[in-house]
Every structure is written in structure tokens, then in C-alpha cells.
């Protein structure tokens, strides 16, 4: 790692070192580029918004990308495989079961605590020889022009100007990069919050994940090591304060009413946190020297655990597009790279946004014809192998045109 404060001209400037921005920095490690990463909150800080107490489900396709980045061995022993998924609609007849072994994969995905990812990225980035890590440091303003982008950064009370051939906005759903560049975004407030917590259960989960749609919102239980699960319970915004205020016993009782006893009794619950939920989608844009990735480009409802998985596919595609440009002797921040990246990502981004938003709307509505339609859709998913395979491949991040990293190949063609 180079000391911050040397030369302030870079090839690539990544704003935001959360899950997606840190992955992007790792993806550029082997390339002949001078990279700087600007992150506002230290990786191990309890205030870090990306590496907090949540758990996320990494899809199988994301595992492949992590393998390509050399990160997967660092997570060994700290992830819990999801071997099957059970989807149900409380009080209605539809349900579906999916098993990874039917598709000859060891798992649909893997559950990992975000804080574990933070502990992995911090030291890894500190060792990266082509990277200047500026943390804590915050973007103040950004100007993108055809020759170069110029960013004003605040670090330890000092202001510094940094220029780059390419700026990558990875600064999350309320992206200042997006705003400074004048990129419009569609924002839909779901009027819901996700309550998350880790739970101890009385029966082994056997690697099963559960997605249960209930009248008060969908709830997901993901397997964790030992007899533990990670809960994501979506609750209407006006009920959140009341549910958060319940004592642990009353909360677990309420949860059991919604979920039943598929995992035996809920024994203990850890700290609860609530996240307000929105859909944010950046409008198509052609801003010189700028690409958006992760939540800065698209923030999703966590209903199907797709947000980070979509973001890391942005990383894999952008890294490959930059790498191919370098190999061809082209400008890594030029308009051909930006247009290639945008075009390639459009289809995957749109279909995952449609899938998650469609699920939220379909399962947040109790109109009788819709209830019948969704129960029938779940049964069809359970019974029609082709439909099930399509759904599994899409949510595992294995559908459509995949970048080399997502196919288990090295980033550089021919290496």
C-alpha cells in the first residue's frame, strides 16, 4: 500500500469501500493501474454501514467471483452453505422446495456475516501494491470531464484534490457520486423496514433456508453455523417501532406465530436492527469518466437476497471491460469502456430489479385473485422442473452472459 498524500493523479478512483467498492479494488489488483480507494468509515468501526451485524447470502455465482479474486480461501470455515430453499405463503396452499444437488452444485449459496467480510477486506486492501487506501476520507465534490475526473476529498480535516481517468461510484444507495454527476434515479419507498437478528433454534437446520410470505411481510431465515439462523423479517413501516419494542420473549413468540415450528423452537435472539427499504435505480447515463456499481447503481429490497450478488457481478464485468481495454492498448476510462459496461449490465440489472420488486408487490397484497395467482405460481415453481431450473440459475447468478470471473476463469483473457 502506498502512503496517501504522494501524487494525487490516478488511473482509477473508487469512491466507497463497502462490500462492492472493496471487491472492485481487489479485482483491479493485478492490473497495471494506479488505484485509490476513498472510504468514509474505517473497516472495523462499529459505525461502518456496510460491514455491520447483518448476514448476507452469497449466491453460488458470487463464490466463483470471490474464487477468481483469490478471496474465497480467506472465508473458508466462516461461511454456511445453503443446500436447499423452502418457499411458502402463510395461510395459503402454495409452496416450493429447491435442492442444490438437483442442479449438481454443492450449494445454492453461502451465508456470511458482513463483519467477517470487513475483517477480510481491511488487511487485504492494505497489502495491495497498486492501491492507495484513503480511510477515513470522504468525497466532497466531483467534476467529470472528457479528459479527466476531478474529486475533492476531505481527509483528517485537510482537503485534497485527486484526478483520475476513471471514477467508480460505489458509495451506496444515497450516492453522492451519482448526485454530483447529475444522474437521475428512480426511488420507490416500500414503506417497509427489514428487521434483522441472529437466532438460536432447537433443531438442526440441515442447511435449509426459508422464505415465508406472511400477511405482515416476507420473512427469511438463513442457516448459520451451529444451531443458529439469521433472520430478515420485513415489517410495514408503521409497525416497526412496536415490533422493535417487544421484549425478546414476545418477539420470538410473534415470530413463531408467523413461521411455525419448522426449526423447532426459537430459543434466543441477538441484537435486532431495522433497515428502511427502498428501490433505487439510477437512470441510464453517459457521464464521461464515470461508472456506478453496487447500491449506487441499484438498491434492492432484500426479499430474495440479491443486492450484493448483483453488485459483485457489476464488479466482475467492469473489471473485465477495463482489463480488455488495457490489453488492447485503450484508455481504461474511455467512452468505449463505459458504454460496454453499461450495455452488458443492463439486462441482468433490469431482470433482478423486476424479480425482487415483483415479488414484493405480489406478496404484499391480499386481494383474492392475487393470492390465488401467487399460490399457483409457487406450486408451478415446485412442480415444473424447467421453471425451477430457470429460477435457480437466475438467483444463483449463473444466468445470461457471464464475465470470465463468474465462469471460474482468470480476469485477463489468455492468462
Ligand X SMILES: Cc1cc2nc3c(=O)[nH]c(=O)nc-3n(C[C@H](O)[C@H](O)[C@H](O)COP(=O)(O)OP(=O)(O)OC[C@H]3O[C@@H](n4cnc5c(N)ncnc54)[C@H](O)[C@@H]3O)c2cc1C
Q: Which of 112, 232, 252, 392 binds ligand X (CB under 6 A)?
A: 232
Distance CA 61, CA 183 (A): 29
Q: Looking at the DSSP assignment, which residues form a beta bridge with residue 139?
A: 153
Q: Which residues, in sequence order, are bridge partners of residue 264?
A: 262
Q: Are 192 and 237 in contact (CB under 8 A)?
A: yes
**Subset of residues 25 to 54 that bind ligand X, contact rule: CB under 6 A:** 38-41, 49-50, 54
Selected binder of ligand X within 88, 309, 349, 375 (CB under 6 A): 309
Residue with cell 471460474: 408
171 touches ligand X by CB under 6 A = yes
Residue 138 sits in the site that holds ligand X (CB under 6 A): yes
Q: Which stretch binds ligand X (CB under 6 A): 64-72, 170-178, 246-254, 318-326?
A: 170-178
From the CB of residue 64, how many other CB atoms can be counted at a distance below 10 Å? 22
Pairing of strands 35-38, 131-134: parallel
Work out which of 12, 13, 14, 20 binds ligand X, going by CB under 6 A: 20
Contact residues for 298 (Cβ-Cβ < 8 A; gap 6+) = 280, 281, 282, 307, 310, 311, 349, 352, 353
Is residue 120 close enough to count as binding ligand X by CB under 6 A? no
Instruction: Assess 311 for contact with ligand X (CB under 6 A).
Output: yes
Instruction: Report the residue from 169, 305, 332, 340 that binds ligand X according to the rule CB under 6 A.
Output: 305
Query: CB of 372: closest distance to ligand X in angstroms?
Result: 29
DSSP 3: P
| 395 scored as a contact of ligand X (CB under 6 A) | no
Applying the rule CB under 6 A, the residues between 172 and 211 that interact with ligand X are 172-173, 176, 194, 196
In this structure, the chain runs to a length of 415
* From candidates 19, 98, 219, 371, binder to ligand X by CB under 6 A: 19
Cell numbers given for 115: 463483519
What is the x/- site pattern for ligand X, positions 259-298, by CB under 6 A?
A: ----------------x------------------xx---
Cell of 164: 483520475
x/- mask, ligand X, residues 65-104, rule CB under 6 A, reads ----------------------------------------
Pairing of strands 55-59, 35-38: unpaired
| Residue from 10, 21, 223, 349 in contact with ligand X (CB under 6 A) | 21
Find out whether 169 and 314 touch, Cβ atoms under 8 Å. no
340 binds ligand X, rule: CB under 6 A: no
Of all helices (H) and strands (E), which one includes residue 267?
strand 266-269
Look-up of cell digits 484526478: 163
Shorter beta-carbon distance to ligand X: residue 298 or 404: 298
Q: Segment contacting ligand X (CB under 6 A): 94-102, 142-150, 305-313, 340-348?
A: 305-313
Q: Of 15-23, 98-106, 141-149, 394-402, which segment contacts ligand X by CB under 6 A?
A: 15-23
Three cell numbers written together for 398: 449463473
C-alpha cell at 262: 419448522
Neighbours of 46 (CB within 10 A): 10
Q: Tell me 83's DSSP state.
A: -
Where do contacts with ligand X occur on this chain (CB under 6 A)? 15-21, 38-41, 49-50, 54, 56-57, 138-139, 170-173, 176, 194, 196, 232, 275, 294-295, 302, 305-309, 311
Amino acid at each position: 500500500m502506498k502512503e496517501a498524500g504522494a501524487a494525487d493523479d490516478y488511473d482509477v478512483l473508487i469512491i466507497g469501500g463497502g462490500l462492492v467498492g472493496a471487491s472492485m479494488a481487489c479485482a483491479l489488483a493485478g492490473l497495471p493501474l494506479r488505484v485509490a480507494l476513498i472510504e468514509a468509515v474505517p473497516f472495523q468501526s462499529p459505525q461502518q454501514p456496510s460491514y455491520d451485524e447483518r448476514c448476507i447470502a452469497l449466491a453460488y455465482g458470487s463464490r466463483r467471483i470471490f474464487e477468481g479474486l483469490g478471496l474465497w480461501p480467506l472465508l473458508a470455515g466462516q461461511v454456511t452453505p445453503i443446500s436447499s430453499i423452502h418457499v411458502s405463503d402463510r395461510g395459503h396452499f402454495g409452496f416450493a422446495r429447491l435442492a442444490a444437488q438437483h442442479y449438481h452444485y454443492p450449494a445454492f449459496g453461502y451465508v456470511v456475516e458482513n463483519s467477517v467480510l470487513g475483517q477480510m477486506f481491511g488487511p487485504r486492501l492494505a497489502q495491495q501494491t497498486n492501491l492507495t487506501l484513503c480511510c477515513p476520507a470522504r468525497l466532497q465534490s466531483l467534476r467529470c470531464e472528457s479528459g479527466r475526473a476531478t474529486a475533492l476529498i476531505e481527509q483528517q480535516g485537510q482537503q485534497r484534490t485527486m484526478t483520475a481517468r476513471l471514477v467508480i461510484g460505489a458509495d451506496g444507495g444515497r450516492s453522492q457520486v451519482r448526485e454530483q454527476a447529475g444522474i437521475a434515479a428512480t426511488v420507490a419507498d416500500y414503506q417497509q423496514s427489514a428487521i434483522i437478528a441472529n437466532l438460536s433454534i432447537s433443531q438442526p437446520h440441515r442447511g435449509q433456508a426459508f422464505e415465508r410470505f406472511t400477511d405482515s411481510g416476507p420473512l427469511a431465515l438463513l442457516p448459520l453455523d451451529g444451531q443458529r439462523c439469521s433472520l430478515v423479517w420485513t415489517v410495514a413501516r408503521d409497525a416497526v417501532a412496536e415490533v422493535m419494542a417487544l421484549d425478546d420473549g414476545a418477539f420470538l413468540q410473534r415470530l413463531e406465530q408467523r413461521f411455525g415450528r419448522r426449526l423447532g423452537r426459537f430459543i434466543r435472539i441477538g441484537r435486532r436492527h431495522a433497515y428502511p427499504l427502498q428501490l433505487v435505480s439510477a437512470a441510464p447515463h453517459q457521464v464521461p469518466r464515470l461508472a456506478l456499481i453496487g447500491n449506487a447503481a441499484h438498491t434492492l429490497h432484500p426479499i430474495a437476497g440479491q443486492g450484493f450478488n448483483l453488485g459483485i457481478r457489476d464488479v466482475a464485468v467492469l473489471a473485465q471491460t477495463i482489463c480488455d481495454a488495457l490489453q488492447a492498448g485503450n484508455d481504461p476510462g474511455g467512452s468505449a469502456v463505459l458504454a460496454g459496461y453499461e450495455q452488458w449490465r443492463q439486462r441482468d440489472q433490469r431482470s433482478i430489479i423486476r424479480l425482487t420488486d415483483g415479488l414484493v408487490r405480489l406478496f404484499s397484497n391480499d386481494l383474492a385473485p392475487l393470492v390465488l395467482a401467487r399460490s399457483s405460481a409457487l406450486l408451478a415453481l415446485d412442480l415444473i422442473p424447467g421453471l425451477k431450473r430457470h429460477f435457480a440459475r437466475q438467483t444463483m447468478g449463473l444466468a445470461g452472459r457471464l464475465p470470465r470471473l463468474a465462469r471460474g476463469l482468470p480476469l485477463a483473457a489468455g492468462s
